[in-house]
Amino acid sequence: MIHRLFKFSAEKNIFLLGPRQTGKSALIKNELKNILHFEINLLKSETYKRYQKNPEFFKQDILYKVKNEKIRIIFVDEIQKLPILLDDIHFLIEEYKIKFILSGSSPRKLKKGQANLLGGRVPIRYLFPFTYLELNESFNLEQALIYGTLPGIYFLLESDKRDSLITYVETYLKEEILAEGIIRNLEPFSRFLDICGIYNSELLNYSNISRESAVALKTVQNYFQILEDTLIAYKLPAWDKSVKKQLALTPKFYFFDNGITSVLNNQLNLSADSNYKGKVFEQYIINELRAIKFYKNSLLKFHFWRTVAGSEVDLLITDNNKILTAIEIKYKTKINSKDFSGLKSFREEQPMVPLYLVYTGEESYEVDGITILHYKTFIKIVAEKII
């Protein structure tokens, strides 16, 4: 049993969102295992068809359970498949004070089908793949960099991980998005997605991706919005406030799990070269910190810093337009002077901001005011003291 950082109470309404196989259902069922409740799983075809054809049965079934079995907690799995049911959920919360635990793999259809998402009566939270802090002794960096940390895949044998990840990309990221009616033609989306793997952790250049995937520019922009809306990828905005340097303002983008990136780059191999591992190490660290931020319900924001001349810092953690810390991420066991260039350029503009360089070496030390930390030590420090 892996104890997740995300905690919730079955006595309170909650809306838990996250991509498939992040462990939403398992987490909720574990919390409810000794609590009287009624589960409605919309992934079951018979359940889905029943409520799709006769949505009124949803409220009737729940009220029967409430009145005859004294059930007060309802778990609805994959609610995004039938957003129309949110109307009845809203009514049941208001009139009967029933507690609802809702899960979904995509907020896109929910927002389209019910714009207010229950008017704030059910707080929205997010679940991510396993983090190092959750896996502890079971964590393996090389495995995480190449295969990711999706709970449904992490503990599989290596060959099974490859097959499962390829299936995940082919069936979920492509076919299920098509099946839900988000896109009409799979072929251009598939070409777009393959090219996106190359641009993971890079500046987001719609024009280049449009040209290389042979997909219209506006369609590419729409596809990126789909990736964000389905929680598959996200943009990391550039820090845009400077008095000394001209900054590049184009955002970067990242997939939510390293395994997705490896499939799209045809890199499902632990012997991948160091350049590739350097990119996905950056992705892994940012995803790890992002998960911690959401689990703590923190209002802090993440940015990266880059000048037009090309100096860059991988991650800034900010609070209300104030930079709390600047972080450079290196997949290296030994650090040299060139590795500090981005942070030193940043310090010319922001001399009071604490600077960190995160790497895979074991020693922790300081050079010219920059703190160098092993990535595990750094994650713990950020989780406890910064976020």
Task: Give per-residue pLDDT as tens, 9-18.
Answer: 888 999 999 9
Average model confidence (pLDDT) for the chain?
A: 92
Task: Report how far residue 314's alpha carbon sits from residue 326's, in angstroms, rounded to the nearest whole number.
Answer: 8
Q: What residue type is 359 in one-letter code?
A: Y
Task: Give per-residue pLDDT as tens, 284-316.
Answer: 999 999 999 999 999 999 999 999 999 999 999
The yes-or-no verdict on residue 84 having pLDDT over 60 is yes
Q: Select from 349, 355, 302, 361 the least CA-distant residue to 325.
A: 355
Domains along the sequence of the chain with CATH: 14-126 (3.40.50.300), 132-386 (no CATH)
Give the pLDDT score at 117: 60
Q: Select from 230, 233, 209 the least CA-distant residue to 220.
A: 209
Place of tokens 């054809």: 53
Task: Report how far residue 339's alpha carbon sits from residue 306's, in angstroms, rounded to the nearest whole number.
Answer: 15
Q: Where are the beta strands (DSSP E) in the chain?
A: 14-17, 38-41, 73-77, 99-104, 124-126, 233-236, 252-255, 301-306, 312-319, 322-329, 355-359, 365-367, 370-374
| Alpha carbon separation from 233 to 21, 143, 224, 226, 230 (Å, rounded) | 15, 20, 8, 9, 8
The yes-or-no verdict on residue 179 having pLDDT over 90 is no
The yes-or-no verdict on residue 135 having pLDDT over 80 is yes
Cα atoms in the Cβ-side hemisphere of radius 13 Å centred on 2 = 24
Task: Report how far residue 171's alpha carbon sits from residue 178's, in angstroms, rounded to the nearest whole number.
Answer: 10
End-to-end CA distance of the chain: 26
> pTM of the predicted model, to two decimals?
0.93
Give the pLDDT score at 174: 76
The yes-or-no verdict on residue 103 having pLDDT over 70 is yes
> Counting every residue, how long is the chain?
387
Lowest mean pLDDT among 91-100, 131-140, 182-191, 282-291: 182-191
Strands of the 124-126 sheet, one edge to the other = 38-41, 73-77, 99-104, 14-17, 124-126
Q: How confident is the model at residue 230 (pLDDT cuts 50, 70, 90)?
A: confident
Task: Report how far residue 57's alpha carbon sits from residue 368's, in angstroms, rounded to the nearest whole number.
Answer: 67
Give the pLDDT score at 115: 46
Cα 361 to chain center, whole Å? 27
